[in-house]
Structure 1
Amino acid sequence: MTTRTDSSTDFTPVDQDLYAAAFQLLDPDPTPEPAAPALPAAPAQVPLPVAVPVRLTGPVEKTLTDALTFLDIHGWARGTLIHPEGARCSIGALRAAAGARNSAYCDAGNLLLDEAQRQHGTKWQSIPSWNDSHSGAQVRSVWEAAIRRAHHLNI
């Protein structure tokens, strides 16, 4: 089969500008084809802030902590409520921290004496007698244990 390719054919090439103008007349405001629906984006994995539980210090824990701080600042004494230079025994530090003989003062004293009896025996019936019969390190150990118990009991 033979194909004729000479220029004597009746074939006229398409004018592209004319072609575009014809389509413009047919559809003056073409609407673009809708895009494929976008897939929803995966939610960002933003870590939520962790709320730290709020724990208020109970009045007994505060009284014990303040009293031990008082002893650390002013010194610890034996045989006297208040030493002339400002040091205090355990009961004197409790009174200074509590400010009054209120329920926190009474409960802190009871907890301190209970801890002293746990560590040093039940023969101690008062804070002053226990305080005067032990070393500073032994007294401090009881204070710290009493503060931990008050914290644990949330009192």
Structure 2
Amino acid sequence: MNTRTETDFTPIDPALYAKAFQLLDPAPEPIDPAAPAALTPVPFTLPAPPVRQTGPVEKTLTDALAFLDTNGWAKGTLISPEGARCSIGALRAAAGARNGAYCDAGNLLLDEARQQHGKQWESIPLWNDRHSGAQVRSVWEAAIRRAHHMNI
């Protein structure tokens, strides 16, 4: 093992450094080495955490599930005489129009239905009509969680 102990540092000129510091601060205040250092507290506040905006797909799914909770869930019909709706009817009511959020929310809901209940489901109404309210709600909740995690 070869450890080198010589250094190639250039020796400093203390007078040169003193002159440089004097030019930077021509009238320094004398420091009493016996006095305790006076620390001035610096106010510090943590920045507020960023506010997460709910994405349009998550909002559509959440609003549709709230609509089902409020007005009821239906099978075999888009809207029952009492005002309950099937899953696709709730999506339409929540979206207000067949816009991008409506389409994306429907695709996400159907994908989640296929993950939980098999790949054979071709549409939301077919899946909705062949399952119980608890099974349908489970799919809605999972789709909302996915939209939240995807930030859509």
What is the TM-score of this pair, normalised by structure 2? 0.74
Q: 1:135 aligns with which of 128, 132, 135?
A: 132
Q: Which runs of 5+ in 2 are unaligned?
A: 1-31
Could you tell me which residue of structure 1 aligns to residue 90 of structure 2? Answer: 93
Q: Percent identity?
A: 75
Where in structure 2 are the equivalents of 1:19-58 lying within 5 Å?
39-44=36-41, 48-58=45-55
> What secondary structure does 1:152 align onto?
helix
Which residue of structure 1 lines up, in the alignment, with residue 70 of structure 2? 73
Residue 151 of structure 2 corresponds to which residue in structure 1? 154
SS of residue in 2 equivalent to 1:115: helix
1:134-155 deviation line (CA, Å, top 9, x unaligned): 0000000000000000000010
Take 2:70 and 2:120, find their aligned partners in 1: how far apart are those partners?
A: 30
Query: What does residue 111 of structure 1 align with?
Result: 108
Q: 1:124 is matched by which residue type in structure 2? A: W
Deviation at 1:53, TM superposition (A): 1.8
Give the superposition deviation at 1:47.
5.3
Give distance in 2, aligned partners of 1:101 and 1:81.
15
What is the TM-score normalised by the length of structure 1? 0.72
Report the CA distance between 1:37 and its aligned residue.
8.8
Instruction: Name the CA distance, whole Å, in 2 between partners of 1:41 and 1:143.
Output: 61
Structure 1's 118 and 40: CA in aligned 2 closer, same or farther, altered over 3 A? Answer: same
Aligned residues: 121
| Distance (Å, rounded) in 2 between the aligned partners of 1:91 and 1:141 | 16
Distance 2:34 2:97 in 1: 74
Structure 1 unaligned residues grouped into runs of 5+: 1-34
Residue type at the aligned position of 1:146: A
Distance, in Å, in 2 between the alignment partners of 1:118 and 1:143 is 12
SS for the counterpart of 1:68 is helix
Partner Cα separation in structure 2 for residue 59 and residue 67 of structure 1? 12
Instruction: Return the letter of the residue paired with 1:127.
Output: I
Residue deviations 1:29-75 (CA, integer Å, cap 9, x gap): xxxxxx99964432437552342122110000000000000000000
CA RMSD of aligned residues (A): 2.0
Q: Which residue of 1 aligns with 2:81?
A: 84
Rg larger for: 1
